[in-house]
Amino acid sequence: MHHLERQPDNLIASSNIADSSDFPPKLLNGVKEQGKIPPPNEPEGRPEITTGTERNAVLPALQPESGSRKDNKAVPWYHTSLTEIDPITRGLLENYSKIPSDQVMQHVFAISYFRPTPGQSLTPSSSTLTQREKAWDVYPYPCIGQFLFLNLTINLSPYYPTLVSRLRDSNHTLLDLGCCFAQDVRKLVSDGAPSENIYGADLYGDFMDLGFELFRDRRSLKSTFFPADILNERDLLLKGLDGEMDVVYLGLFLHHFDFETCVRVCARVTRLLKPKPGSLVMGVQVGSLVGDTKPIPIPSGGILWRHDISSFEKVWEEVGALTGTKWKVEARLERGKGFGEKWQIEGTRRLGFEVSRL
């Protein structure tokens, strides 16, 4: 019997699931024998995908970034040290990944020569290539700079125990869209969800490969991971899951889009779900006590748009009108790790939500 821990209010991350019956054969190391996966806007028939469980599987990033952007560490959310790992994440690394307790910190930093003295915080040095530095080189998201990829978000939802039961007992499917390291996928699997029913997608395939390094489960995890662009209507990999998902999880994802684009993204997400009552979109994002009315530029690239509960409900009203569907929105604003930092705009909160089809 799998035990679902009681969760504190200070965690952060991302995750999701899906059905594999409609997927073509998998790739070897993320590439075809005669070349790479064609970009979504250049279909060559239906592309194959990899489960990511092959040894040394590498999924290509769709949009590699320039050095000037990824090397920018002069931002307030780039933390130079890590003094502790959240106990739930530590438990996942020890019990799921089978990493000895006294080696967890060293593993997270992938230390080659640098060894801290007792009580010393771990600080990357020139001889240390860390998991976080590798991820920062993929894309400098604030969640990477703050080490938030080491925290979980899916378990923060009050719906989480029911979600695990649906996945475990009813053979439901879930897609973690914008999964990053897919740390929430590992949380679901560790709590009893069948990994073969869980899918993960991210714009940057390198994040998913780093997830295999972090959790040491390349051979055992049967989940399917693939690079995808939710804004590309011709993305064949996402189209292969249309109508197949019971749940789509959006962890730290929707705040990257302005209001109109958020409506467009959510409308596209609804097509991934099975067209029946009870299909669910859930997640967490950066929110605010007072919703934004214009996008906030992020120095390292992209934008931030913080919804309050009212504006988030408005998004789903427009999604319903656009798609001819009806949705029940349950949302809450919370404090938590990574939210309410001194460098953040006043009123910033964590917005958690569950949106179910009526």
Nearest Cα to 276, choosing from 250, 322, 317, 245?
A: 245
Model confidence over 75-113: pLDDT tens digits? 656 666 677 788 999 999 999 999 999 998 888 766 322
Burial readout 73-91 (b: 16 or more C-beta within 10 A, e: otherwise): eeeebbeeebeebbebbbb
Q: What pTM does this model have? A: 0.73
* HSE toward the beta carbon, residue 34, CA cutoff 13 A: 2
Task: Enumerate the H helices of the chain as residue ranges.
Answer: 67-70, 87-91, 104-109, 131-138, 142-145, 160-169, 183-190, 205-215, 236-239, 259-272, 309-323
Q: Supply the pLDDT for residue 119.
A: 52
Nearest Cα to 292, choosing from 249, 256, 334?
A: 256
Enumerate residues 6+ apart whose C-beta is below 8 A from 243: 271, 272, 273, 274, 275
Nearest Cα to 273, choosing from 248, 237, 255, 303?
A: 248
Residues 229, 103: Cα–Cα separation, whole Å: 36
Q: Supply the pLDDT for residue 142.
A: 62
Q: Supply the pLDDT for residue 91.
A: 94
Q: Supply the pLDDT for residue 269.
A: 98
Tell me which residues of the chain have a pLDDT lower than 50.
1-70, 111-118, 120-129, 342-343
Q: Supply the pLDDT for residue 347.
A: 87
Nearest Cα to 295, choosing from 319, 259, 265?
A: 259
Nearest Cα to 258, choosing from 295, 233, 221?
A: 295
Q: Supply the pLDDT for residue 106.
A: 80
Nearest Cα to 50, choosing from 256, 223, 213, 204?
A: 223
**Phi, psi for residue 102 in degrees, rounded to 5:** -80, 0
Q: Supply the pLDDT for residue 44.
A: 38
